[in-house]
């Protein structure tokens, strides 16, 4: 009997010790957030809490999405597989339909004894139409989940829409109510995740805080709007913007050219300025929620045992080149903020190496000592978290754009160059030198002096191209081991 009690005590102690040794994960997502942030050097847009997070870890300056569209980008990140592998290129809810055996990131943690929890948007949600529902969520990913809905959903009739009255999911629309953060969906998400931190602080957790802002409609409490007086918001000159597009293949801006500028017909510069003001306000609103989450970790003495990841699903245009929204292969659409803070690794680091959103899955599995599926298509960021300038990191980043069977392309990002092919080059190519042209004003693809470079980059890109003029989505699948 004594021996049995002793063995039981050892088992309990061992289980408790193993739980104590496991690293937690706080997984923070923003929606449609570009790098117009003070943490990325745009001092106008105030993000002190993201700056605080960056001092705790590594800021990735060349982080790239797999596809600049919410649904496939998020599915790719959560599976560590490219959109072509998943056969997902649209906003359709088809992750499990097409990939029934896939092991998602949160599911991996759940399978390894973690409390896996989501509040808000991690997989695709229509905004605001699907707020408060499970939308395109994957139940197998989570132990539990929650779908708050604030006044940005319950009072959406008060939102001012400058564009056609075709819904708010893709709109030029703003609202600045006099309100508390916690009255908004994203404030509720932060409060909910804080409650989970307090509740589960003594056992390993994977907590996902999925914020909807700054996705349109651009809604935040008025005090965040007040941080950005309209007269302080500058807009790109439209004549210069139009000139920027003269050397761009038509397919690169096919969705935007009909009603250029600003995507919708008859949007004025002043209306666009108000939307840009509202977008900046939303970014600062999200930053404040990030601060609340960091405070909760500190108050529970969890900073030294929690890996914190902040990411957005892709970048965003705010009038540059006369463009708005995402779904483009330009840097401004493919690049987004990504910060990883891991206890014991680099603090206050900046990496300029090209990385991808799908690198997050193998990174978190690596840092937490979990056995990931064998066929993940990203790579662990541990080498860059140890040395942000690690010379051995030579992997390029690849972003694809898919509109329909006749309109798609792939873009490859190296440390210096962005190279893009539309329909394997049949519909045009783009080459931008980011050492001298960070705004991608001059397309060098037709310059004879770059022919050898283009041939080299094209060969690199072909390794990632699973579509062709004769092969379209749906023809080839890869299986993922559990």
Domains, the chain: 2-386 (3.40.720.10), 397-462 (3.30.1120)
Rg (CA), the chain: 22
| Measured CA angle at 123 (ends 118, 329), to 5 deg | 140
Among candidate residues 138, 229, 218, the one with its CA nearest the CA of residue 184: 218
Burial code (b: 16+ CB inside 10 Å, e: under 16) for 424-442 equals beebbbbbbebeeeeebee
Distance CA 312, CA 324 (A): 17
CA 249 to chain centre: 26
| Candidate list 35, 65, 124, 314, residue with the active-site label | 124
How confident is the model at residue 166, as a pLDDT?
A: 80
Among candidate residues 309, 310, 287, 289, the one with its CA nearest the CA of residue 191: 289
Contacts of 164 (CB under 8 A, 6+ apart): 264, 265
Among candidate residues 105, 220, 210, 75, the one with its CA nearest the CA of residue 148: 210
Among candidate residues 389, 348, 390, 341, the one with its CA nearest the CA of residue 363: 341
Among candidate residues 133, 208, 223, the one with its CA nearest the CA of residue 177: 223
CA 475 to chain centre: 27
Residue 70 bears catalytic tag: yes
How confident is the model at residue 471, as a pLDDT?
A: 54
Whose tokens are 């569209």? That residue is: 69
Distance CA 252, CA 478 (A): 29
Intervals of the chain under pLDDT 50 = 4-17, 473-482
Contacts of 2 (CB under 8 A, 6+ apart): none
Contacts of 301 (CB under 8 A, 6+ apart): none
Start-to-end CA distance of the chain, whole Å, equals 40
- Bond preceding residue 217 cis, omega within 30 of 0: yes
Please give the C-alpha separations between residue 303 and each of 115, 294, 343, 351, 436, in angstroms, as whole numbers.
18, 8, 8, 22, 40
- Bond preceding residue 261 cis, omega within 30 of 0: yes
Residue 186: Cβ-neighbour burial (10 angstroms; 0-12, 13-18, 19+): buried
Please give the C-alpha separations between residue 272 and each of 43, 181, 234, 237, 317, in angstroms, as whole numbers.
21, 25, 10, 12, 11
| Candidate list 70, 216, 275, 282, residue with the active-site label | 70
Length of the chain (residues)? 482
Distance CA 129, CA 436 (A): 42
Q: Phi-psi bin for 307: left (phi > 0), alpha (psi -120 to 50), beta?
A: beta
Distance CA 34, CA 363 (A): 22
| Measured CA angle at 204 (ends 202, 207), to 5 deg | 110
How confident is the model at residue 19, as a pLDDT?
A: 54
Among candidate residues 177, 183, 261, the one with its CA nearest the CA of residue 219: 177
In the numeric block, which tokens belong to residue 342? 């891991």
Phi and psi dihedrals of 209, rounded to 5?
Answer: -105, 105
Q: Specify the DSSP class assigned to residue 329.
A: -
Contacts of 100 (CB under 8 A, 6+ apart): none
Predicted TM-score (pTM) of this structure: 0.94
Residue-wise pLDDT tens digits, 333-392: 999 999 999 999 999 999 999 999 999 999 999 999 999 999 999 999 999 999 999 999
């Amino acid at each position: 009997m004594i021996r049995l009690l002793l063995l039981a005590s050892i088992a309990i102690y061992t289980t408790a010790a193993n739980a104590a040794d496991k690293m937690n994960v706080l997984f923070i997502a923003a929606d449609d957030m570009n790098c117009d942030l003070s943490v990325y050097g745009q001092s106008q847009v105030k993000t002190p809490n993201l700056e605080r997070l960056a001092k705790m870890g590594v800021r990735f300056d060349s982080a790239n999405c797999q596809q600049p569209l919410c649904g496939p980008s998020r599915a790719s990140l959560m599976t560590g597989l490219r959109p072509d592998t998943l056969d997902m290129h649209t906003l359709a809810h088809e992750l499990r339909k097409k990939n029934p055996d896939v092991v998602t990131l949160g599911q991996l943690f759940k399978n390894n004894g973690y409390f896996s929890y989501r509040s808000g948007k991690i997989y695709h949600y229509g905004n605001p139409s699907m707020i408060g529902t499970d939308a395109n969520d994957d139940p197998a990913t989570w132990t539990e989940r929650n779908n708050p809905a604030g006044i940005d959903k319950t009072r959406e009739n008060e939102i001012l829409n400058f564009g056609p009255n075709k819904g708010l999911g893709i709109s030029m629309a703003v609202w600045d109510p006099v309100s508390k953060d916690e009255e908004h969906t994203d404030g509720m998400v932060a409060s909910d995740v804080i409650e989970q931190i307090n509740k589960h602080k003594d056992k390993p957790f994977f907590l996902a805080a999925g914020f909807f802002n700054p996705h349109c409609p651009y809604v935040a409490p008025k005090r965040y709007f007040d941080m950005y007086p309209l007269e302080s918001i500058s807009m790109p000159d439209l004549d210069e913007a139009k000139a920027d597009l003269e050397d761009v293949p038509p397919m690169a801006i096919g969705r935007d050219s009909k009603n250029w500028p600003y995507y919708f017909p008859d949007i004025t510069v002043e209306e666009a300025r108000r939307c840009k003001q509202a977008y900046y306000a939303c970014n600062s609103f999200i930053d404040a929620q990030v601060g609340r989450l960091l405070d909760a970790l500190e108050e529970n003495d969890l900073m030294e045992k929690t890996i914190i990841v902040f990411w957005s699903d892709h970048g965003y245009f705010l009038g540059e080149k006369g463009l708005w929204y995402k779904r483009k292969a330009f840097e401004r659409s493919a690049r987004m903020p990504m910060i990883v803070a891991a206890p014991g690794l680099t603090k206050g680091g900046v990496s300029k190496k090209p990385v991808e959103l799908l690198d997050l899955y193998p990174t978190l599995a690596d840092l937490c000592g979990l056995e990931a599926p064998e066929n993940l298509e990203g790579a662990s960021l541990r080498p860059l978290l140890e040395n942000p300038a690690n010379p051995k990191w030579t992997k390029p980043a690849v972003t694809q754009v898919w509109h329909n069977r006749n309109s798609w392309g792939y873009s490859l990002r190296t440390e210096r160059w962005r190279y893009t092919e539309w329909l394997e080059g049949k519909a045009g190519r783009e080459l931008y030198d980011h050492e001298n042209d960070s705004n991608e004003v001059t397309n060098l693809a037709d310059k004879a002096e770059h022919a050898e470079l283009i041939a080299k980059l094209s060969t690199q890109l072909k390794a990632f191209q699973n579509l062709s003029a004769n092969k379209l989505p749906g023809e080839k699948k890869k299986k993922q081991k559990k």
